[in-house]
Amino acid sequence: MATATAQTWKTKAEGLSYPTQAFIDGEFVDGAGGERFERVSPVSGEVFCEVVAGGDEDIDRAVAAARRAFDDGRWSASPKERRAVLLRLAELLVANTDEIAALETLDTGKPISDSLYEVGAAAQQFQYFAEAIDKVFGEVVPTAPDVVANVLREPVGVVGAVVPWNYALLMPVWKVAPALAAGNSVVLKPAEQGPLASLRLAEIAAEAGMPDGVFNVVPGIGEVAGRAVGLHPDIDKVAFTGSTEVGKLFLQYAGLSNMKNVSLECGGKSPNIVLADAPDLDLVASVSAEGIFGNSGQVCNAGSRLLVDERVADELLEKLQGQAGAWQPGDPFDEATRMGSMIDENQMNRVLGYIETGSGEGATVATGGNRTREDTGGYYIEPTIFTGVNNQMRIAREEVFGPVLSALTFSSFDEAMAIANDTSYGLAAGIWTRDLVTAHRFLREVRAGNAYVNTYDRGDLSLPFGGYKQSGFGRDKSLHALENYTQLKSTFIDLAG
């Protein structure tokens, strides 16, 4: 769609037809218990549909279908077919971009421009992993002439994916695309705060030719359906993205069930370091604002701790406060809007609670700090900047997951690195400096899985994404993601026997 008015996008969203049932064994079905939950659009605070609330029996049905599909080889045995289907799926995502984007904005409050980007990024993921299917090889081990030894890379079997709501299409695809490319069957449990994009994805996958049972989607409440995935004895691997607190539960579930393999991409409290020799403070301010206010701060690797050399702190913070004006929440269906709503009322209140806590700890709200656009009924928070923060405050140590920036100062590089690494997380970190030696020291010393120099939150499909420490383990994106969904088999043939 060419540039459209907000009303045009709203009309499109209101006229959408989309699935709200679970997708199991190639068809949309009601939940065994008949339960449903309401979807409240954070754009307006209004209920707009009800979605099946899957439970233990529904997860059992989905896993059984996935197991049958894996065991009979209808998907795993044909790399060429997998490639064709995933490429077709990517094409269909692109063909339905406007409809899917409107649906995601309605469901999650994300600006329509961000939703459009997200659909394109999801399509690229499927293209990337489809093209990788016939380019990942095993190994031939050097041995004596009378021995043939190989290392085979095989799919793990049935994969359970439990994903968050902040990128309601892209986060599922980060798991589903490599898992399917590797030949696995998948049971996806989307977040109850944003399930509709995953259900639409299942519909498109079927249209693309995905065999029945290979890709199943069971929406439901995390404490019920998510737990059922984690504890299921016939799921071989769980891939989770979400909070560190819930990630730890999945480790427990694995131990209480079948010792299934688990990969976790969890929270972050990422430092963004600005040295006095930063090349362009206007650029620093612009990128840093995007790094915390983009997606309403609901980003695991958001640059939520801004560490600034005290010599340039006043100048940079003044520029950042100016940038905040460009991130004031607006109508998510307006293509000019840069920041939309929080995902729901609970998250909005949680973030507002952190803002109150920060003030109570002695930090100063330099800008923002309030709910806004209350007349819409939606859940919006102003872009907020705290100054006078120290690294022992809760707003500097805990993941707020909202548009809240904590600004801290330092007087030396060593002090900055000590503050940066003084966290239980290790997902991302950035530095701004003209000094190449300093940049390399930072890259070597920072304890984070993703590190940026003179930018923030930039990457590529070919780069793995994941964290250190309590940000989790395992990697999304890149060929390394396939390691999450394959296992190695060593073979040894004695030719002299």
Catalytic (active site) residue 300: yes
293-323 as b/e: b if 16+ CB within 10 A: bbbbbbbbbbbbbbbbbeebbeebbebbbeb
Tell me what pLDDT residue 497 has.
72
2 pLDDT more than 90: no
Q: Please indicate, yes or no, whether residues 101 and 159 belong to a single structural domain of this protein.
A: yes
What's the rounded Cα separation, in Å, for the pair 268 and 304?
9
Average pLDDT over residues 92-105: 98
Does 466 reside within a domain?
A: no
1 pLDDT more than 90: no
Q: Please indicate, yes or no, whether residues 171 and 24 belong to a single structural domain of this protein.
A: yes
Q: Please indicate, yes or no, whether residues 365 and 476 belong to a single structural domain of this protein.
A: no
Does 494 reside within a domain?
A: no
For residues 105 and 9, the answer to whether their CB atoms sit within 8 Å is: yes
103 pLDDT more than 90: yes
Q: Please indicate, yes or no, whether residues 262 and 181 belong to a single structural domain of this protein.
A: yes
Report the predicted TM-score, pTM, of the whole model to 2 decimal places: 0.97
Does 467 reside within a domain?
A: no
H or E stretch covering 126: helix 112-132
Does 59 reside within a domain?
A: yes
Give the alpha-carbon dihedral of 411, 413, 415, 416, to 10 degrees: 100
Average pLDDT over residues 424-428: 98
In tens, the pLDDT along 262-316 reads 999 999 999 999 999 999 999 999 999 999 999 999 999 999 999 999 999 999 9
- Taking CA atoms, 8 is separated from 305, 335, 390, in Å, by 38, 11, 46
Does 497 reside within a domain?
A: no
Instruction: Give the total number of structural domains in the chain.
Output: 2
257 by DSSP, 3-state: which? Answer: coil
Catalytic residue among 99, 118, 192, 265: 265
How does the average pLDDT of the chain come out, rounded? 97
| CATH number for the domain harbouring residue 326 | 3.40.309.10
For residues 395 and 354, the answer to whether their CB atoms sit within 8 Å is: yes
Domain holding 368, by residue range, is: 271-424+428-460
| CATH number for the domain harbouring residue 67 | 3.40.605.10
Give the end-to-end CA distance of the chain in Å, rounded to a whole number: 67
Cβ neighbours for 24, distance < 8 A, ≥ 6 positions apart: 58, 61, 62, 65, 216, 218
338 pLDDT more than 60: yes
In tens, the pLDDT along 163-201 reads 999 999 999 999 999 999 999 999 999 999 999 999 999
Place of tokens 């030894």: 149
91 pLDDT more than 60: yes
What's the rounded Cα separation, in Å, for the pair 408 and 431?
14
What's the rounded Cα separation, in Å, for the pair 90 and 19?
19
Q: Please indicate, yes or no, whether residues 343 and 216 belong to a single structural domain of this protein.
A: no
Average pLDDT over residues 58-86: 97
In tens, the pLDDT along 396-425 reads 999 999 999 999 999 999 999 999 999 999
Q: Please indicate, yes or no, whether residues 376 and 293 belong to a single structural domain of this protein.
A: yes
Cβ neighbours for 76, distance < 8 A, ≥ 6 positions apart: 70, 155, 183, 184, 185
Q: Hey, what amino acid is at 210?
A: M
Give the alpha-carbon dihedral of 297, 302, 303, 305, to 10 degrees: 70
For residues 4 and 335, the answer to whether their CB atoms sit within 8 Å is: yes
Q: Please indicate, yes or no, whether residues 299 and 238 belong to a single structural domain of this protein.
A: no
Q: What does DSSP say about strands 371-372 and 380-381: parallel, antiparallel, or unpaired?
A: antiparallel
Does 1 reside within a domain?
A: no
Shortest CA distance to 60 belongs to which of 241, 250, 231? 231
Does 318 reside within a domain?
A: yes
Catalytic residue among 104, 290, 300, 382: 300
Q: Please indicate, yes or no, whether residues 454 and 359 belong to a single structural domain of this protein.
A: yes
Q: Please indicate, yes or no, whether residues 251 and 222 belong to a single structural domain of this protein.
A: yes
Q: Please indicate, yes or no, whether residues 101 and 233 belong to a single structural domain of this protein.
A: yes
Q: Please indicate, yes or no, whether residues 93 and 138 belong to a single structural domain of this protein.
A: yes
Q: Please indicate, yes or no, whether residues 279 and 244 belong to a single structural domain of this protein.
A: no
